[in-house]
Amino acid sequence: MAVVQWLSRIAGGLLLLIVFIAGARFASLNAETVSLDLFVASTRMSLAAALLIAFICGMAVGYVGSLATAWGQLRKARKARRERQALQKEVANLRKLPVRDPS
């Protein structure tokens, strides 16, 4: 088991290194300056920085969207838990009732 964890950490480190090198290469190939015209301001920055900012903003919007979904699922789980507890209590009460002879 320790060998698997060790290999997993090495693979994760190598993947992180590859992503870092690819990002650095991408940034060096896209060093041109671009002009960003926002609604209230205008700025100039490198193309790689502009793409990185757009990527981070997209991740933030996706995270907020997933939080809304997760919150709804959590609410459903709480409701199901309360219903289960009520049903368990009802079953326990029914088991305590004496059995009547049908005749």
Q: What is the pLDDT of residues 29-70, one digit of tens each?
A: 888 899 988 888 888 998 888 888 899 999 999 999 999 899
Long-range contacts at 58-66 (CB < 8 A, ≥ 24 apart):
none
- Domain range for 87 is 53-94
Instruction: Provide the mean pLDDT of the chain.
Output: 89
Count of structural domains within the chain: 1
Confidence of residue 1 (pLDDT cuts 50, 70, 90): low
Are the CB atoms for 36 and 42 separated by under 8 Å?
Answer: yes
Task: Give me the pLDDT at residue 79, please.
Answer: 97
